[in-house]
Structure 1
Amino acid sequence: MELFNRCKKLFEIIDEHAGDRDRSNTIEAVFIFNRDLLDGNFFYITGLYHGVFENCGIVIDRECNYRVLTTALEEEIVSEKFDNKNIYIYKNDGERNRSIHESLKGYRRVGIAYKNITYSYYTWLKESFPNIQWIDVSIAFKKLRMIKSKFEIAEIQHACDIASRVADMIPSFLKKGMTELELAAKVEYHMKLIGAQGIAFNTISAFGENSSKPHYIGGDVKLEDQSVVLVDFGAQYHGYVSDITQTILVGQPPAELIEIYRVVSHAQHIAFEMMRPGVNVQNVETEVRKYIDSHKNFKGRFIHSLGHSIGRDVHDDGYPGEEWGRLLQAGMVITVEPGIYIPGKYGVRLEDDVLIEENGCKVLTSADKELIIHAIR
């Protein structure tokens, strides 16, 4: 059961982080609760992917004893996965607060992920449990989630396969006069049609000059004969996600746009060639940026980071940071998404999802990224 495996590993990481400190002062339990914010760690540690789970949580100790705290709305889903004796169902705020007090009774040092709770909720915890010392375990969760198990990799691969299949369909969706929102709707519909249980995030669908805005969502702009189409989207499968970006040239694109596409494509392959365990991820990004900047007209137009980790969340706590010495490790799954953006004209981004393996990397997304200029009907 993933709960016990992840619990065991979580406390191992917590103890490693504690170092040589007196073990009598070690963290006794971890508390996760979806109060003002939904905490991805809750879904990760429980393995749940159905349900909303607002105002729900879990207490788990270092022996992997646990109690799931949930509303009646999620009772049936929780009961299908966990032993009923470890489930506390409540119907109102008073019962919820009593369940939290009962579940935390006897603990003196409890871990919570500071980055996933609001200040107001932290204040409530401090005031409600004056005898508990609350300790930040955000880094422990980040390290735990950064290295994917074989099970997780298989789920992510399935999400990547769905997104890749739909990415290869996009040229057939394109019709003169269709809007950005129409294209986004087709992409999301077809992902669900072939097995996605949801979308990883709101689809970015951008035509023409809107493609120079990396986080543009989409509107009623219509597709014209000479344009560029940028679509950034992902599938969600069993709680795990993919993230892919396709840029498609249509009609008779200008020579500069064709050159941008080729530069971005080569930049992505520079990253693929460098990525392996022990490589500093910042060095990979530096080399990609150096290559793009070597083209005078595009210098400084790669305006975001090279990528991010994916897993249960589409931004699964960023790239490996100082907790890993910024070094890539086998089992990490990250995006590689170089781009060049010329304001008011166009942008090109190519994004794939990559698994770091023992001797290099494996690209999990398989959509065709060969430069082909498409005619539209």
Structure 2
Amino acid sequence: MLTKTESEQRIARLQDGLRGQGIDGALFIYPIDIYYFSGTRQNSALFVPAEGKPRLMVRKSYFRAQAESVIDDTRPFPSSKEFASQFPPKAKRIGFTFDVAPVQQYQYYAKLLPGVEFVDVSPLNRELRSVKSELELERMRESGARLCGVFKEVPGFLKEGMRELDLAAEFEYRLRKAGGEGFVRMRAYNQELFQGLAVSAGAGNPGFFDGAVTGRGLSNASPHGASIDAIEANVPVLVDYTGVFDGYIVDMTRMFVVGRLAPELQRAFDTSLRIQQHLTENLKPGAVCEDLFAQAADIAESAGLARNFMGAPGENAKFVGHGVGLELDEFPVLAQGFKSQLRAGQTIAIEPKFVLPGLGVIGIENTFAVAPDGGVKITDLPDDIAFV
């Protein structure tokens, strides 16, 4: 639960950023942004002035928002005629999250606030949210512990001949029983994910999802994740799941094999571990994101696996790590062209994976916190392949 003190600290940092950019305030309409600052995910709009107290205007449920919100000025959403009066007259440049706000909503609020210039505060918002407080880190550690608890159970129910879908269902059942909320929020347009994926022979199928592994899925309308294909002996099984608890997401992958693993796959897995180890040691404040990606790619190339790194040849994803928190695709991103420097308290899922057509998919993924001495592992479970 968000405390009033933590909310005030988040809002103060936002206000510093607004003033630094000459913006008079910010209007948030995206639910998870509102939750981050207010502690409630109810249908509402949050206005944060560059100076002064924020105001939360609630459509539904106002009664629940009253109980949950730590914003002192929490009130019912005003009528269209009264909306402009909720803003200070001097607020002429107002921030808006262009990255997630539909054009229809932009036009709606522009009509309610004539004469106001809306400016994009998406980068500012995402940078602020990327650095986790100790309260957030504690919640992510708890999410990691619960997710690891489910992963530990996999060798007990993974069997040769079971469908990928059955493996996924068993995992998801236990994850839900552990309190997993299931809502894997993503900011990117046209991306979606149902908790995670458990895939084997069809793991290397290319697809829309912006990641190294997609899976076959269940239909053309749902072309991601587990399929009805049977799990075969001596074929690697990749289990990649998110754990979402109290809104906070951690992301991890572990490998399982019924039988033996081909030497080429074992070599690729060992390369994944080397990449992860290198990145973990360098996950320090000041490290440049694109440099870390380039270093990971160099390790893959030196192992003769460059064309298989982070996807099937020709379908390679151009990243090796992504920020996680209240969303699966937060800042920072260890990716080509991402020139920002790491900051202490950022949380990143590092996922070096390889797709070897005809053999299978293999790799590792863990969530880490950026710290002065290198990454601190949040999904604290041994990385070894589990042979069943």
TM bucket (normalised to shorter chain) is 0.7 to 0.9
> Would the alpha carbon gap of residues 198 and 314 (structure 1) be closer, same or farther in structure 2, given more than 3 Å must change?
same
Instruction: Give the number of the structure whose residues are more often helix, by fraction.
Output: 1
Instruction: Find the partner of 1:11 among 10, 15, 25.
Output: 15
C-alpha displacement of 1:247: 1.8
Q: How does 1:1-377 map to 2 (within 5 A)?
A: 1=4, 2-16=6-20, 18=21, 26-34=22-30, 39-48=31-40, 53-54=42-43, 56-72=44-60, 74-82=61-69, 86-89=73-76, 97-98=80-81, 100-104=83-87, 106=89, 107-198=91-182, 200=184, 201-202=193-194, 203-211=196-204, 213=206, 214-216=213-215, 217-296=225-304, 298-302=305-309, 303-304=316-317, 305-319=319-333, 326-374=340-388
C-alpha distance in 2, partners of 1:212/1:271?
A: 27
C-alpha displacement of 1:64: 4.5
C-alpha displacement of 1:312: 0.8
3-state DSSP of counterpart to 2:325: coil
One-letter amino acid matched to 1:208:
A
One-letter amino acid matched to 2:76:
I
TM-score, normalised via structure 1 length: 0.85
Cα shift readout 1:303-324 (whole Å, capped 9, x = no counterpart)? 2211111111111144279999
> Would the alpha carbon gap of residues 97 and 331 (structure 1) be closer, same or farther in structure 2, given more than 3 Å must change?
same
One-letter amino acid matched to 1:33:
I
8 Å contact 1:211–1:228 — kept in the other structure?
no
One-letter amino acid matched to 2:302:
S
C-alpha distance in 2, partners of 1:187/1:204?
A: 10
One-letter amino acid matched to 1:78:
A
8 Å contact 1:307–1:335 — kept in the other structure?
yes
C-alpha displacement of 1:62: 2.9
One-letter amino acid matched to 1:97:
S
3-state DSSP of counterpart to 2:342: coil
8 Å contact 1:112–1:136 — kept in the other structure?
yes
- Structure 2: unaligned runs, 5 residues or longer: 185-192, 207-212, 216-224, 310-315
Identity rate, percent: 20
One-letter amino acid matched to 2:276:
Q
C-alpha distance in 1, partners of 2:51/2:19?
A: 14
3-state DSSP of counterpart to 1:365: coil
C-alpha distance in 2, partners of 1:105/1:310?
A: 35
TM-score, normalised via structure 2 length: 0.83
> Would the alpha carbon gap of residues 116 and 96 (structure 1) be closer, same or farther in structure 2, given more than 3 Å must change?
farther
C-alpha displacement of 1:206: 0.7
C-alpha displacement of 1:119: 2.3
> Would the alpha carbon gap of residues 89 and 181 (structure 1) be closer, same or farther in structure 2, given more than 3 Å must change?
farther
3-state DSSP of counterpart to 2:118: strand
8 Å contact 2:292–2:334 — kept in the other structure?
no
Question: RMSD of the TM alignment (CA)?
Answer: 2.5
3-state DSSP of counterpart to 1:357: coil
One-letter amino acid matched to 1:343:
P
- Structure 1: unaligned runs, 5 residues or longer: 19-25
3-state DSSP of counterpart to 2:292: helix
8 Å contact 1:264–1:338 — kept in the other structure?
yes
One-letter amino acid matched to 1:301:
N
C-alpha displacement of 1:89: 2.9
8 Å contact 1:262–1:371 — kept in the other structure?
no
C-alpha displacement of 1:7: 0.9
8 Å contact 1:178–1:222 — kept in the other structure?
yes
Structure 1 ranges of 4+ moved more than 6 A: 320-324
Cα shift readout 1:198-227 (whole Å, capped 9, x = no counterpart)? 353522111124246512211211222222
Q: Which moved more, 1:39-48 or 1:239-248?
A: 39-48
C-alpha distance in 2, partners of 1:183/1:241?
A: 21
8 Å contact 2:324–2:330 — kept in the other structure?
yes
8 Å contact 1:246–1:351 — kept in the other structure?
yes
C-alpha displacement of 1:338: 0.5
